[in-house]
């Protein structure tokens, strides 16, 4: 088994080398060569009626991996200049739209799952109870905005600047937040503005979530699930803020940045859970 795996890996290496060499020689992109090789292989295998059952389920995995590697390879070759600004802006907008869609799909699926697990809706009769629900929905929206603004921070690598907390290079509001013209470009391209927005939203959450927690504790007649969900949400937000600050102060080590990204999804799920318990 080990020998077969080593042989297969070696054959793949030789194959990758050949694809690269042929691609360079004939100026063909390796992705085209790979697709052509795949099509030719399928014809040959069908011709000799050779069907390897274990190959079929692996094709999508290998294909996805291949695509990721090709995109990475392309990204390493990129040189950025002013003429490409429009293209970069369009790609960033597309990535942002993808991120929003991914979060929205996650929220919808999570909500449906919660509704299956807890089909009974809460009966909120008093104005105070209903205000807690509005507050919980507001926190969901705030966490969503927080995650989006985090995407901007990571997108322009704004976490590599202003590595101090709570001040940004000695200022609460850095003076250069409107340095770029026109002014609205600052919200997308200016590291100071993008990081300041992320911090400002974090301060808002640091106030809104404990308040929600307090309201959940002191309002009578709320489902106990909402109350315990409030504990979880408060703990996760505290952890997420601590992780964000550590990521910033330590100069964005990959492991912390990845944990911070995953933490955002957990915080979002915890906020949705409280809103769902009060629906
Ligand atoms: C509940 C609060 C927070 C949430 C939900 C949140 C969410 C996020 C998300 C989703 C990202 C994008 C990660 C990526 O796409 O790679 C991000 C990035 C980042 N956040 Fe936060 N964040 C929070 C609080 C904070 C705080 C308080 C700080 C520090 C002051 C911070 C610093 C950063 C930094 C430096 C990055 C960029 C990391 C990178 O370049 O990969 N975050 N945040």
Residue 171: beta bridge partners? 168
Q: pTM score, two decimals?
A: 0.73
For atom 34 of ligand 1, which residue has the closest CA?
159
For the chain, the domains span: 2-77, 85-277
For atom 37 of ligand 1, which residue has the closest CA?
154
How confident is the model at residue 75, as a pLDDT?
Answer: 65
Mean pLDDT of 130-140: 97
Tokens of 52: 């390897």
The answer to whether 33 and 23 are in contact (CB under 8 A) is yes
How confident is the model at residue 76, as a pLDDT?
Answer: 63
Q: Return the best residue to mutate from 154, 158, 272 for the ligand 1 pocket (most ligand atoms within 8 A of CB).
A: 154
Tell me, using a 6 A CB cutoff, whether residue 149 lines ligand 1.
Answer: no
Cα torsion 96, 98, 100, 102 to 10°: value is -150
The rounded distance, in Å, linking the Cα atoms of 74 and 130 is: 52
The answer to whether 277 and 140 are in contact (CB under 8 A) is no
Is the alpha carbon torsion for 122, 127, 128, 132 positive or negative?
Answer: positive
The answer to whether 105 and 267 are in contact (CB under 8 A) is no
**Cα of 104 to ligand 1 centre, how many Å?**
19
The answer to whether 228 and 213 are in contact (CB under 8 A) is no
**DSSP class of residue 181?**
S
The rounded distance, in Å, linking the Cα atoms of 144 and 233 is: 14
Mean pLDDT of 100-128: 93
Tell me, using a 6 A CB cutoff, whether residue 208 lines ligand 1.
Answer: no
pLDDT higher than threshold 70 for residue 80: no
Mean pLDDT over all residues of the chain?
A: 89
**Cα of 154 to ligand 1 centre, how many Å?**
8
Atom of ligand 1 nearest to the CA of 143: 5
The answer to whether 122 and 273 are in contact (CB under 8 A) is no
pLDDT in tens, 182-220: 999 999 999 999 999 999 999 999 999 999 999 999 999
Atom of ligand 1 nearest to the CA of 237: 1
How confident is the model at residue 24, as a pLDDT?
Answer: 83
């Amino acid at each position: 088994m080990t020998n077969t795996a080593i042989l297969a890996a070696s054959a793949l290496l030789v194959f990758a080398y050949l694809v690269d060499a042929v691609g360079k020689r004939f100026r063909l992109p390796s992705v085209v060569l790979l697709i052509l090789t795949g099509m030719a292989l399928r014809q040959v295998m069908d011709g000799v009626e050779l069907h390897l059952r274990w190959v079929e389920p692996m094709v999508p995995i290998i294909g996805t991996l291949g695509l990721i590697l090709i995109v990475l390879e392309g990204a390493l070759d990129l040189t950025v200049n002013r003429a490409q600004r429009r293209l970069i802006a369009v790609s960033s907008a597309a990535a942002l739209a993808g991120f929003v869609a991914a979060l929205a799909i996650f929220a919808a699926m999570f909500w449906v799952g919660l509704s299956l697990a807890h089909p009974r809706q809460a009966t909120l009769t008093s104005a105070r109870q209903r205000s807690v629900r509005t507050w919980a929905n507001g926190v969901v929206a705030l966490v969503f905005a927080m995650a989006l603004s985090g995407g901007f921070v990571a997108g322009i690598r704004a976490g590599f600047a202003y590595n101090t907390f709570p001040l940004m290079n000695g200022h609460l509001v850095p003076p250069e937040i409107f340095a770029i013209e026109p002014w609205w470009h600052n919200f997308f391209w200016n590291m100071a503005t993008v990081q300041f927005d992320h911090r400002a939203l974090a301060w808002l959450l640091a106030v809104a979530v404990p308040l929600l927690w307090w309201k959940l504790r002191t309002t009578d007649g709320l489902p106990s699930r909402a109350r315990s969900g409030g504990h979880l949400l408060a703990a996760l937000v505290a952890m997420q803020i601590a992780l964000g600050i550590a990521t910033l102060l330590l100069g964005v080590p990959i492991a912390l940045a990845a944990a911070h990204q995953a933490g955002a999804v957990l915080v979002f799920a915890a906020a949705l859970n409280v809103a769902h318990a009060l629906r």
